Amino acid sequence: MSPRPLVIAHRGASGHRPEHGEAAYRLAIELGADAIEPDIVPTRDGVLVLRHENEISGTTDVADHAEFADRRTTKQIEDKEVAGWFTEDFTWAELSTLTVRERLPHLRPLSAAHDGEGGIQRLSDLLRLLDDAPRPVGLVAEVKHAQHFEALGLPLDELVAAELAEHGWADDPRLTVESFEQTVLWQLRERGVGGRLVWLVEKAGSAADQVARLGSAAPTYADQLDEASLAALARQGLHGVSFDKAMLLRASGETRPELVDRAHAAGLDVFTWTLRIENAFLAKGNRQAGGKEAEGDWESEFADLMALGLDGVFADHPERAVAVREGLWGRGHER
């Protein structure tokens, strides 16, 4: 039996290298991650690229390219007004001229030292990298802003399904697909994608697909987490839910097991995001001296969350999560 939880490298080994770069993905494999999580967004010509958001000023050198200065704009992305440069306004040929940068240089200067080392990756690049890996490594693919891109004539269900099929991944047992929007998960299943489907859950608010369909009557994420709703999602074919870590932790650092237990009782796997080592991201009770960028008591936070019986955790430093998991495993915390 494999140890649980699975350790999923969040945007690659993004605590060490600029997120979603080839170096971050390769390092995640070297550091023992069980799977890698890319965020998928399209270009204007329908190429699937891997960026945390479609707005790329914080993760690339696009602002330094004078030839793209006129592409800067402001858009409404779901419920937020966002200014910058957006993948859907570029062709792949144009985006391929950019290099990647650390998104949080003030917190991760060692990663920022690798700015400019490599370009934007496509989904196809990562699929080939995983196929060539020295050991089996899974893919947990997050489909971003599907409702937004559908309105632009860039249907992510169609584009993602076609890309996965082309590379032999549509039925690969290593595949999981996740999204905050349930609609695109069902659409992918209808298009023959056979991977596991996981619904991402925010602490507050409503999913964009629900808002587009129901407006102010859209249920919140919290509205859909009672026993009956979770059981209904499982019957529809959902395999798991992935909770914002803040939903499972009190400010003191004490865990809240009820959501995990409720989802497991409905037959769903449970994941959480994101395990990080810096004080800025830890529960108040797990922070230590040294400022936001310093390491806090991440070992305790990781261990307490894993002890809830989670099936998977997303981590920026996958080797730290693997080490904590192995320590729990050795002490008989198998779930």
**CATH number of the domain encompassing residue 151:** 3.20.20.190
60 lies in some domain = no
Res 144: pLDDT: 98
Res 328: pLDDT: 86
150 lies in some domain = yes
76 lies in some domain = no
99 lies in some domain = no
106 lies in some domain = no
288 lies in some domain = yes
The CA distance from 168 to 52, in Å, is 24
In contact, 140 and 151? CB cutoff 8 Å: no
256, amino acid identity: R
- Taking the CA atoms of the chain, what radius of gyration do you get in angstroms? 19
Considering the entire predicted model, what is its pTM?
Answer: 0.96
In contact, 96 and 119? CB cutoff 8 Å: yes
117 lies in some domain = no
Give the C-alpha distances (Å, rounded to integers) separating 147 from 38, 163, 258: 18, 19, 31
Domain residue limits at 246: 6-54+123-330
Q: Consecutive 10-residue runs of the chain (335 residues): their mean pLDDT?
A: 81 98 98 98 98 98 98 94 98 98 97 98 98 98 98 98 98 97 98 97 96 95 97 98 97 96 98 98 97 97 97 98 88 48
- Pick from 182, 202, 196: which is nearest to 244 by CA? 202
309 lies in some domain = yes
334: Cβ contacts below 8 Å, ≥ 6 apart: 1, 3, 4
Res 334: pLDDT: 45
Total domains in the chain come to 1
Upper half-sphere CA count for residue 87 (Cβ side, 13 Å): 31
